[in-house]
Amino acid sequence: MKSEPERQRKHFVGGVSTYCYLRYYQTESFDLSVRERGPDGKPTRVTRAFPLLSKDEVEKRLTEHASSVSTRRPSGIVWKQSTAFLASNSPIEDANASGFIEKESSPTGGDLLFFAVMDGHGGYHTSRLLSKVLIPAVTLELSTLKNSPSVLVPKGGFLQSWKLWLWPPTAVPPTGSFDADPKYVSLAIQTAFANLDSDIMNAPLRILSEALSQPGADKNTLPDLSQHPMGLATMFPAMSGSCALMALFDTAHRNLYIACTGDSRAVAGVWEETADGKGIWRVDVLSEDQTGRNPNELRRMQSEHPPSEANDIISRGRIFGGLEVVRAFGDARYKWSRDVQEVLAQVFLHGNNERMRPASQLLKTPPYVTPRPVITHRKLHGLPLDSPDTASRSKSTLRFVVLATDGLYDELTSEEVVALVGGHLAGLKGTITKAKLNELVPTLEGEGKTLDGKAARIQDSAGSWAFVDDNVSTHLIRNAFGGGDEGWLRKLLSIPSQYSRSYRDDITCTVVYWEDGRKEQAKMTTFSSGSN
């Protein structure tokens, strides 16, 4: 850290010499090693000095995109949703969405609650589109379960039938129970994801096909559609890419579904009552990071392509050494054939001085990326009013779910996330050492052990956490970037966007939890933090 005092300056007003002395102040700055291109065009490391944001500026950045929503239902449940995001890229490539469908008038009652985070890459176009259309697409597909699951057939691609999307026939449940059967709900969600990506990838081809089918069109010459009103609007979401993580709470049937495409992660905090009355948080990881480092995904990809490609598909944990995630929306470079990429680039991009990165020389049998999500299902136990007899309630109760893009888990483990949320809900305040939090809010490994798709992070048992935020999602983001180490937090948030991506990623985080909203019990379902 260094200081650079501003010098006094002489100021002349109206030709009369007067001296206006600007007060001395210190502009704090810090040195940082960054990567730049030298005169020869090759990347090199240089040291640059950057101004350090003030405490107030840091607080503004942490809180300006934070929101909290409470929804009270007639049943007595108050649903709580907190969301916050912090950009590293400019503009941010993350997005988020939520939806609420009331079903109290239905025979079974209950609601459908949707929460989703999207982590874009190669631009923001795909993630922003998904934030508008993913939940409606899933909702529409779920509506088919009222009739027959036979309509749950993904659309065919324009290159080949995607064999991964074909499922063997299964027994049909009794009429009217499709939406209560996790097998069919999961299939509906997978179908919605697949069909939506098919629409995204096919859109530019449809425009080209329509242009070539016009009367008088020369079918042997590619048209220039660079000025077509939907040209770039359809190309950009197909060219960029995005992960998507969605949670569906079905309160009528007490079901929770997590749909994961990519390496965003869902983590649940489950409160386990203990004999001493203090309790402990069980950490249930509800998704796997779907990258080339995940051995399950590596085996899947190798099984879907000729054996001759087995050693080339994944390099350094990435597809052809490039894309890290192996499930995503968009990412045309890994889904379109080489010929299709060249044709569409000529038709839509060249006239706009835009370009598409050339396909890898290893690309032979696309697609190499699938939008099909992995679905995790579990029963929703522990909602308020589940049973009038509190003694009959389970000793193990799901209390909250965290959905976050991988930028959060680059910095925090799943166990740390659950402990930080658990401590926040217990009312902890101030700065708490990491060792102390382990005592106050103990955790244990639960279901779905984290299968990291990224390189392992060295955990630091030293340092401290900060419990200063009302918004629990902001609380997580603050602690991902320093927590109680205010100096480190200020440095990380002060790095300009053109350099910050080497030190931190975009983060979007949504925390969902619930309360008993009855007047006589208008408080959080409580637990002990062990701090008394």
Whether residues 43 and 74 share a domain: the answer is no
Task: Clarify whether residues 263 and 315 are in a common domain.
Answer: yes
Q: Is residue 531 part of a domain?
A: no
Contact at 8 Å (CB) between 257 and 376? yes
Do residues 519 and 484 touch, judged by C-beta distance below 8 A? no
247-291 tens-digit pLDDT: 999 998 999 999 999 999 999 999 998 888 789 999 999 999 999
Average pLDDT, integer, range 402-429: 97
> Does residue 281 share a domain with residue 406?
yes
Q: Give me the CATH number covering residue 469.
A: 3.60.40.10
Q: Which domain, by its residues, includes 43?
A: 2-52
pLDDT at residue 242 above 90?
A: yes
Q: Convert the pLDDT of each residue in 320-342 to its tens digit.
A: 999 999 999 999 999 999 999 99
Let me know whether 441 and 491 are in one domain.
yes
**Res 151: pLDDT:** 55
Residue 371 lies in a domain: yes
Q: Lowest mean pLDDT: which of 126-135, 148-157, 294-303?
A: 148-157
Question: Which distant-in-sequence residues (6+ apart) come within 8 Å of 307 by Cβ?
Answer: none
**Both structure tokens of 430:** 């101030």
- H or E segment to which residue 119 belongs: strand 111-121
Is residue 11 very low, low, confident or very high in pLDDT (cuts 50, 70, 90)? very low
**Backbone torsions φ then ψ of 68, nearest 5 degrees:** -135, 135
Phi, psi values for residue 428, rounded to 5°: -65, 145
Mean pLDDT of the chain: 85
For residue 531, give the nearest of 410, 417, 392, 436 by alpha carbon: 436
* Poorest-pLDDT segment among 95-104, 173-182, 292-301, 453-462: 453-462
Residue 110 DSSP class: -
Task: Give me the mean pLDDT over the 42-57 stretch.
Answer: 94
One domain for residues 194 and 243: yes
Q: Is the pTM of this model over 0.85?
A: yes
Q: Inform me whether the pLDDT recorded for 16 exceeds 70.
A: no
Structural domain contains residue 529: no
How many structural domains are present in the chain?
Answer: 2
Predicted confidence (pLDDT) per residue in 477-523, tens digit: 999 999 999 999 999 999 999 999 999 999 999 999 998 765 444 34
Tell me: do 450 and 316 sit in the same domain: yes
Q: How wide is the angle at C-alpha 139 spanned by C-alphas 136 and 140, nearest 5°? A: 85
**Which H or E element spans position 288?**
none
In a domain, 453, yes or no: yes
Are residue 407 and residue 447 in the same domain, yes or no? Answer: yes
Residue 423 has pLDDT above 80, yes or no: yes
